[in-house]
Structure 1
Amino acid sequence: MNSIILNEKAKQIQLLLTDCDGVLTDAGVYYNEFGESLKKFNLRDGMGVERLRKFAGTETGIISGENSAALHLRAEKLKITEVHAGIKDKAALLAGIMQKHNLQPEQIAFIGDDHNDLGIMQLVGFSACPADALPAVQQQVDYICKSKGGEGCFREFAELIITARNHNSDAYQARKGVTLQTGRNIDKGQPCYIIAEIGINHNGSLETAKKLIDEAVAAKACAVKFQKRTPEVCVPKDQWEVMRDTPWGRMSYIDYKRKTEFGIEEYAAIDRYCKELGIDWFVSPWDTGSVDFMEQFDTVMYKLASACLTDFDLIKRILFTGKPLMLSTGMSTMKEIEAAVALIRSYDEAYPFFIAHSTSAYPCKLEELNLNMIPTLMKKFPGVPIGYSGHETGLSTTVAAVTLGATFVERHFTLDRAMWGSDHAASVEPQGFQRLVRDIRDIETALGDGIKQVYESEIGPMKRLRVHINPVEVQVQKDKVLA
């Protein structure tokens, strides 16, 4: 089928129905130690569901001949509510689905791979299959994906629909900003997204972490951020047995790093606590194993620490999750920043990411903050939200970053700068963070819209002080105020 017809079919799609085994999974059979059946889902396909919803206004439904707990859990995570499992006659379901959603057949697409998918494929407006579908299926469908089942075929088909439904490519490319799953939008013209970086300032104490979260909420921060490492990967082996003085006594460096690292229980508690308090949370993973670990939690994004900007394996692992990615650019050259951005765009031209200007010195000297890099990055990467990750002492320079266009800011956060640990000295205490948020919000209000006007509060002084007054212009300004 030629590309024009494909495009016409694709741009009408408002609901994409998919088989599960052989499309969202590789159709493999896996069992855990208890003999329970497992499913291997592709994370890129999951991102396709979210992107369909966000960029095309197209919802996803699952119709599967199999019925498993894994299928329902995956659907729940992706917020797919149209789920039909254990179905033998898929075509018979279609009439009810169309009536429920008030859709016509040409507004529905289906992607499947086996004989039991042929019936429904004949009824919908647009059909597709993975590259490894049965020959009989490949002969019938409108579109054969280049990817196999469980290896991105759903995402490929989803992107075809997204592109078609946003057929004005200029408008599609003009989409700016990053919208998080909590609904917050990071972009020009939006309130600055303010991040309290707890990092490792919890010193291995969940109680301290919760106090920091409490203080961040009190300061009206938008998010808190932690750091996650696998000590055995991130600590050089020649440093493992180096002895250090710590608050818990003298111990090897590797044991110290293990002691300050949160595990599943702590992060599960943090996840619950942040959701209860209504504050976003996420982490900077320092190795691929830490990304695997954090995927147990539904965080709003990942941050790539400045030290990891050249770690392409780590970047690729984060991209595979589909979650928005913040790049921090301390200790980096412009070429290294460009290379990281090129990697992201080669993975997905429209992948949601943003860039934080930063200088990796703790604390950083004023003359090395180089805040003018913020407009430089804005010019270099148009449409990409640019922010600031600061390590200086004082607050005014972070506020200044917002006046220069930073759409998000991040500062290290501590209960007490005198606490033991490497990051406390360059951190902001609770009262200071409250002032920082207040001052940023005041600046946002004061910046206005850049359009010159006479305010109602000025009309009285104008009448008293000006010799020559245009009464028509005064009335126009009054009318604008009333409007």
Structure 2
Amino acid sequence: MNEILKQKAAGIKLLISDCDGVLTDAGVYYGSNGEDLKKFNMRDGMGVERLRKYAGVQTSIITGELSPSIAKRAEKLQITELHLGIKDKVVVFKDICNRLNLQPEQVAYIGDDYNDLEVMRLAGLTACPADALPQIKNQVDILCTLNGGEGCFREFAELIIDSKSNAFSASSLNGTITLNNGRVIGKGQPSYIIAEIGINHNGSLETAKKLIDEAVAAKADAVKFQKRTPEICVPKDQWELMRDTPWGRITYIDYKRKTEFGIAEYATIDQYCKKLGIDWFVSAWDAPSVDFMEQFDTVLYKLASASLTDFTLIQRILETGKPLMLSTGMSTIKEIEATMNYIMAFDENYPLFIAHSTSAYPCPLQELNLKMIQTLEAKYPGVPIGYSGHETGLATTVAAVTLGATFVERHFTLDRAMWGSDHAASVEPQGLQRLVRDIRDVETALGDGQKKVYESELAPMKRLRVNISAEYKEKPTA
């Protein structure tokens, strides 16, 4: 894109798209009842969400079609400016500009057919898919390399995002990722310390708030919870197994339901964390849980080690555009590679973290394998590498930072003797305070690797050294 087009793209506030031939291919699909169906591309949906989040640009659809599939897709993507069955797109274009108080040059348009020509003459920036009609190709500012329904909308959206220069910092460029609150994680930054509450709240909101309080007191950077849909995550053959719990002897599925927070609890947690100034996010274990969490403006998503091969879940998280933290416990290198290849195929610059982990609770020292932090760093240069630990003790987590972990995560509890599966491998409040303190001390002590003589050394030098360099002979001692 040349500089003139970049300047145009930087001023765009709304992207209007045709549907057939752009958001969908040119095919016609019918359901079993004869209803008209549409085949949408997930990458294009991601483009809508990224435009909104990283460039502040909204999306509108103007189409001559009346398919309910388009309405459903628009609802899913939160596109409110949806205009179906339109014969005169110019009239609708002008009405949108008037209602939204936009100048035509602030509106971009992507289309593929002759009925898009008049609108294109009004819009400030135009594009079309690679398989658009010849006259359209001659009219537009940008000819996409991808066909309609195969990611051309996303391609155009990314050009607009890049022109505005406020997208996330790509990890492939400098090894850092900027969260939506401005916090930077990666090389050259203080380690991002995560207190993993998980399900250690035991279904109690008050316990959760106490854990948040302790994490804030310890000066952790974030707290993390886990979000599941029990009916999806618990195998059906385990639903009716009986278990002794704080709520009495109940079925396993009822136990999992009681430890899950809903909208009321997470709304309270969201407000409480914002009030106390600490980040929060979750490990989402299934796609509906991601949909649920999208109600909140959390800083990232964590993918638990158990979910590393769950590509349906990964796909749903990628569609949100939020940074993704992968945990690699119980995984082979080939499985890690497969997941990384899947993500890179979706977006080679997707904001991504990788956490080395061993999924034993608690994990024996000989299985921590901390040198994997350096192995992952060498294998995926530019991607922030961290550590998710389940061991007892603190020294090994501090060691992970010295080996290059740009973030660390430890399970956290009020009391390791509490009822529940994760408490025994968790850190108590005093331990979390010591962990944060020791990590910050080590970061300070690591220095910059450049040899120098400090002012505090001058007096011992003059007392003890036989031959003092001329540059230090006249320097006053402290």
TM-score normalised by structure 1 residue count: 0.78
| 1:18 matched residue in structure 2 | 14
User: What secondary structure does 2:174 align onto?
Assistant: coil
Q: 1:22 to 1:328 in 2, by over 3 A?
A: same
Distance across 2 between alignment mates of 1:226 and 1:366:
25
| 1:80 matched residue in structure 2 | none
Pair 1:442 & 2:448 matched = no
Q: From 98, 109, 123, give the equivalent of 1:111.
A: 109
| 1:454 matched residue in structure 2 | 453
How far off its partner does 1:252 sit?
0.7
| 1:189 matched residue in structure 2 | 188
How far off its partner does 1:143 sit?
2.6
Moved more, 449-458 or 465-474: 465-474
User: What secondary structure does 1:16 align onto?
Assistant: coil
How far off its partner does 1:156 sit?
1.4
Pair 1:207 & 2:196 matched = no
Q: 1:95 to 1:209 in 2, by over 3 A?
A: closer
Distance across 2 between alignment mates of 1:95 and 1:299:
31
Aligned CA-pair RMSD:
3.8
| 2:87 matched residue in structure 1 | none
Q: 1:389 to 1:65 in 2, by over 3 A?
A: same
How many residues of Structure 1 are paired with residues of Structure 2 in the alignment? 432
Q: 1:165 to 1:175 in 2, by over 3 A?
A: farther
How far off its partner does 1:253 sit?
0.7
Which digits, 9 at most, give the CA deviation of each residue in 1:308-353, with x for residues without a partner?
1111111111111111111101111111111111111010000011
| 1:470 matched residue in structure 2 | 469
Distance across 2 between alignment mates of 1:245 and 1:445:
47
How far off its partner does 1:250 sit?
0.5
Distance across 1 between alignment mates of 2:300 and 2:181:
11
Amino acid corresponding to residue 88 of structure 1 in structure 2: K
Amino acid corresponding to residue 11 of structure 2 in structure 1: L
Alignment of 1:79-94 (within 5 A): 88=94
Structure 1: where are the runs of 5+ without partners?
Answer: 1-5, 28-39, 54-58, 77-85, 99-104
Which digits, 9 at most, give the CA deviation of each residue in 1:416-457, with x for residues without a partner?
100000000000011110111111111111100000011111
Distance across 1 between alignment mates of 2:98 and 2:52:
27
Distance across 2 between alignment mates of 1:232 and 1:212:
27
Q: 1:217 to 1:154 in 2, by over 3 A?
A: farther
Distance across 1 between alignment mates of 2:99 and 2:130:
26
How far off its partner does 1:411 sit?
0.2
| 1:282 matched residue in structure 2 | 281
Q: For the Cα contact (< 8 Å) 1:195–1:411, is it kept in 2?
A: yes
Q: 1:419 to 1:399 in 2, by over 3 A?
A: same
| 1:37 matched residue in structure 2 | none
Identity of aligned residues (%): 67
Amino acid corresponding to residue 247 of structure 1 in structure 2: P
| 1:56 matched residue in structure 2 | none
Q: 1:314 to 1:92 in 2, by over 3 A?
A: closer
How far off its partner does 1:279 sit?
1.1
Amino acid corresponding to residue 367 of structure 1 in structure 2: Q
| 1:359 matched residue in structure 2 | 358
Distance across 2 between alignment mates of 1:398 and 1:267:
29
Q: 1:292 to 1:63 in 2, by over 3 A?
A: closer
| 1:49 matched residue in structure 2 | 51
How far off its partner does 1:141 sit?
1.6
Amino acid corresponding to residue 348 of structure 1 in structure 2: D
| 1:31 matched residue in structure 2 | none
| 1:294 matched residue in structure 2 | 293
Distance across 2 between alignment mates of 1:424 and 1:14:
50
Moved more, 309-318 or 240-249: 309-318
Distance across 1 between alignment mates of 2:346 and 2:117:
32
How far off its partner does 1:112 sit?
4.3
| 1:383 matched residue in structure 2 | 382
How far off its partner does 1:471 sit?
2.8
| 1:222 matched residue in structure 2 | 221
Q: 1:74 to 1:279 in 2, by over 3 A?
A: farther
Amino acid corresponding to residue 437 of structure 1 in structure 2: V
Q: 1:179 to 1:448 in 2, by over 3 A?
A: same
How far off its partner does 1:278 sit?
1.3
User: What secondary structure does 2:12 align onto?
Assistant: strand
How far off its partner does 1:266 sit?
1.1
Q: 1:474 to 1:257 in 2, by over 3 A?
A: farther
Alignment of 1:127-146 (within 5 A): 127-129=126-128, 140-145=139-144, 146=146
How far off its partner does 1:177 sit?
1.5
| 1:82 matched residue in structure 2 | none
User: What secondary structure does 1:88 align onto?
Assistant: helix
Which digits, 9 at most, give the CA deviation of each residue in 1:217-252, with x for residues without a partner?
111111111111111111111111111110110011
Distance across 2 between alignment mates of 1:129 and 1:310:
36
Amino acid corresponding to residue 48 of structure 1 in structure 2: R
TM-score normalised by structure 2 residue count: 0.79
Q: For the Cα contact (< 8 Å) 1:200–1:226, is it kept in 2?
A: yes
| 1:319 matched residue in structure 2 | 318
Which digits, 9 at most, give the CA deviation of each residue in 1:46-103, with x for residues without a partner?
44327865xxxxx64678999xxx99x9699xxxxxxxxx8626789999869xxxxx
Amino acid corresponding to residue 339 of structure 1 in structure 2: A
Q: For the Cα contact (< 8 Å) 1:147–1:156, is it kept in 2?
A: no
Moved more, 13-22 or 241-250: 13-22
Which digits, 9 at most, give the CA deviation of each residue in 1:108-135, with x for residues without a partner?
7722449998677447774224689999
Distance across 1 between alignment mates of 2:296 and 2:172:
31
How far off its partner does 1:20 sit?
4.5
Structure 2: where are the runs of 5+ without partners?
Answer: 25-39, 64-73, 81-91
